[in-house]
Amino acid sequence: MKHCDFCRIDVEGTLDRCPLCGTPLEGAPTSDPFPNVAPVRQAFRAEGLLGTITLLLCLLVVPPLAAGLVGPLGALAIVGTLLANYLFLRNILAHASDVLRMVERYYFVLLAMALLAYMATQAPMVSCLVVPLLCIVALLVNGVLLLVFRGSFVEGYAKYLIMDIVLGGVPLLMVALGFASWPWLAYVSAALALLLLVALLTGTRGRFAAESRKLFDRG
Ligand SMILES: [Zn+2]
132-177: per-residue pLDDT in tens? 999 999 999 999 888 888 777 787 788 889 999 999 999 999 999 9
Instruction: Give distance in angstroms: CA of 41 to centre of ligand 1.
Output: 26
Task: Give distance in angstroms: CA of 17 to centre of ligand 1.
Answer: 8
Distance 181 CA to ligand 1 centre (A): 50
24 Cα: distance to centroid of ligand 1 (angstroms) = 8
**If you measure from the C-alpha of residue 99 to the centroid of ligand 1, how many angstroms do you get, rounded to a whole number?**
20
Assess contact for 62 and 54: CB atoms under 8 A. no
| Distance (Å) from CA 137 to ligand 1 centroid | 34
Alpha-carbon distances of 209 from 30, 89, 113, 212, rounded to whole Å: 55, 31, 31, 5
| Residuewise pLDDT in 10s, the chain (219 residues) | 899 998 999 988 888 888 888 889 999 988 877 666 665 555 457 778 888 888 998 898 888 888 887 778 778 877 887 887 888 777 777 766 677 787 888 888 889 878 887 887 788 888 999 999 999 999 999 998 888 887 777 877 888 899 999 999 999 999 999 998 899 999 999 999 999 999 888 877 777 878 888 777 754
The pLDDT, as a whole number, for residue 192 is: 96
Distance from residue 91's CA to the centre of ligand 1 (Å): 16
Cα 33 to ligand 1 centroid, rounded to whole Å: 18
Say how many Å lie between the CA of residue 163 and the centre of ligand 1. Answer: 35
Distance 23 CA to ligand 1 centre (A): 6
Q: What is the pTM of this model?
A: 0.58
Domain ranges in the chain?
Answer: 1-33, 45-95, 98-218
Q: What is the pLDDT of residue 41?
A: 54
Helix extents (H) in the chain: 46-60, 62-66, 72-95, 99-121, 124-125, 131-149, 151-167, 170-176, 184-203, 207-218
Contact of 102 with 96, CB cutoff 8 Å? yes
Tell me how far the alpha carbon of residue 39 lies from the centroid of ligand 1, in angstroms: 22
* Per-residue model confidence (pLDDT) at position 137: 94
Cα distance between residue 103 and residue 183, in whole Å: 27
Distance 36 CA to ligand 1 centre (A): 23
pLDDT at 44: 54
Q: What is the pLDDT of residue 171?
A: 96
Residue 132 CA, ligand 1 centroid: distance in Å: 39
